Amino acid sequence: MPTDRQAAAPMPAEGTGTAQVAILMCTRNGAQFIDEQLQSIAEQTHARWSLYVSDDDSTDETVDIVRRFAEGRPQQLKIRSGPGKGACANFLSLAVDPTIEGDFFAFSDQDDIWHKEKLQRALDWLTTIPGDVPAFCCSRTELATIDGQTYDLSPLFTRKVGFGNAIIQSLGGANTIMFNRAAKRLVEKMGALDVVLHDWWIYQLVSAVGGAVRYDPQPTLKYRQHSNNEIGSNKGWYARLVRMRMVLTGRFREWNAKNTAALQKIPADLITPENRRVLELFSKARTSPLFQRLYYLKRSGVYRQTTLGNIGLWVAAVFKKI
């Protein structure tokens, strides 16, 4: 497991106020909402943060709004151009950059509204984890209308977290994710791989090496739902139908192929023996004849967080769509 000598010991909870949090924000034509998101960052109860903004060729006022926000905060904000290959590649370009330093790191979308205690709540747990152990936490969200009014909550997941779940399901939205320096070093080591989603990849990677993962059942932000969301809410029958269509058209299988290929690049001395076994069995379950793939799927122990999700997993396996 990777270690970071400068972070070898846990930070006591009473010392979280000294922790420096690097916020990694990606933007593209977000002028309509970004000012409110920036204000929610400014109002965090944990005040020691820096903001790194990677903009993917915005043609609206996004960058100008960020620059105005930066006035009076010369040490807290840096803006740069993104790779122009979509949100996942943009976020990973920040996560793998070794020049971005901090004690902890938080992803940020451009159109959410953070609760004031979002950073502090994550720090309260992350600082209990030894510094050489990769760790990340995520949470539920409040689903909000375009004008920021909460109308529901994201699904509540109650099953255990770990690699057996991560290999087949993303746990929490990237907009809720915060991780420690050891996890960032791990992401840097793997590089900017071609993966489906940056939040899913970090869940897979940290859990694969036996790191610490926490799912917070308490929402930490308002997740605004609108037509420009790259990934929308996963709650409700419409969302379930969309995901079923993804399974039937083979998109879910394509995602698993891409993620599995990335996971197989984890050095053998980093991934735990048990998780290496899970990965091997799941890989066989994807490609074997019917009865063998069902056998390998069962032996792998992979699972989704809900009953309907697990039923869908087995149906997908029958039709060779995992």
At 111, phi and psi to the nearest 5?
Answer: -130, 15
Judge if 35 and 83 occupy the same domain: yes
If you search the block for the tokens 């915005």, which residue do you land on? 58
What single letter denotes the amino acid at residue 8? A
If you search the block for the tokens 């099953």, which residue do you land on? 159
Query: pLDDT digit string (tens) for 22-56?
Result: 999 999 999 999 999 999 999 999 999 999 999 99
CA distances from 157 to 134, 212, 237, 241, 259 (A): 22, 17, 17, 19, 22
At 221, phi and psi to the nearest 5?
Answer: -165, 165
Report if pTM > 0.85: yes
Residue 241 clears pLDDT 80, i.e. is over it = no
Query: pLDDT digit string (tens) for 161-210?
Result: 999 999 999 999 999 999 999 999 999 999 999 999 999 999 999 999 99
CA distances from 223 to 114, 163, 285 (A): 9, 26, 35
The number of domains in the chain is 2
88, part of any domain: yes
Mean pLDDT of the chain, nearest integer: 91
What single letter denotes the amino acid at residue 27? T
Task: Give the domain range for residue 280.
Answer: 237-318
Judge if 150 and 273 occupy the same domain: no
Judge if 201 and 270 occupy the same domain: no
